[in-house]
Amino acid sequence: MTYSAAAVANVFLQLARDEGKNLTNMKVQKLVYFAHGVHLAGYDTPLVHDHPRAWTFGPVIPPLYEELRKYGSETVTEDLRATDTVDSPSAQKAIAATWKAYKDYTAAQLSRISHIKGGPWDLVWNDPDGRGRFEVIPDPLIKDYYLNRVEKKQATATA
């Protein structure tokens, strides 16, 4: 099952409140995007039905941006309007793993991570024909990237 980006964002916002952390628009965007990639790689299905796009500061999910833009670079203080709730175990696991891995990073650090050379954002943004800017980052590209990261991590752990 896929969810709205707002529903996934609300889970991250609750996790942040539970731990006394603050989240900005940019950090929420990156966490939702990373969780989407983790879910694609781990469960072969998208986490969110809203497609991330290659924007200047990394992957952005436009409907989520519209909900969060009023905060600018300030802390998001309220849950977002969502008509759905994240309730599948696979989604909850992907979100929890993403939170554990990235909760202590700043929004700027997460943006830099999302810009990694050869990553999905980079490949779309730097399309040789110049057509990738602000375009959809395809799920197969995101999935392959996250599968590759998992394989590298496993190879390093067993070496």
Per-residue pLDDT tens for 1-54? 999 999 999 999 999 999 999 999 999 999 999 999 999 999 999 999 999 999
Stretch 131-159: mean pLDDT, rounded?
80
Query: pTM of the entire structure?
Result: 0.94
Kind plus residue range of the DSSP H or E element containing 149 = helix 139-158
pLDDT score of 90:
97
Q: Structurally, how many domains does the chain consist of?
A: 1
Give the per-residue pLDDT at 129: 85
CB proximity list for 157: less than 8 A, separation 6 or greater: none
pLDDT band at 154 (very low <50, low <70, confident <90, very high): low
Segments forming the whole domain that contains residue 74: 5-158
Mind listing the pLDDT tens digit for each residue in 97-119? 999 999 999 999 999 999 999 99
Q: How high is the mean pLDDT of the chain?
A: 93
Q: What is the pLDDT of residue 155?
A: 47
User: How many Cβ atoms from other residues are within 10 Å of residue 65's Cβ?
Assistant: 17
For residue range 42-89, list pLDDT tens digits in order: 999 999 999 999 999 899 999 999 999 999 999 999 999 999 999 999
- Structure token digits, residue 111: 């943006």
Reading the block at residue 85, the tokens are: 């709730």
DSSP string, 101-120: HHTTS-HHHHHHHHT-TTSH
Checking if the pLDDT of 156 tops 50, the result is no
DSSP string for 9-47: HHHHHHHHHHTT---BHHHHHHHHHHHHHHHHHHHSS-S
Helix axis angle for 25-43 and 139-158, nearest 10°, is 70
All residues at 6 or more sequence positions from 25 whose CB lies less than 8 Å from its CB, including other chains: 65, 68, 69, 71, 72, 73, 76
pLDDT tens digit sequence for 125-139: 999 887 889 999 999
> Predicted confidence band at 150 (pLDDT cuts at 50, 70, 90)?
low
Q: Is 14 exposed, middle or buried (0-12, 13-18, 19+ CB in 10 A)?
A: exposed
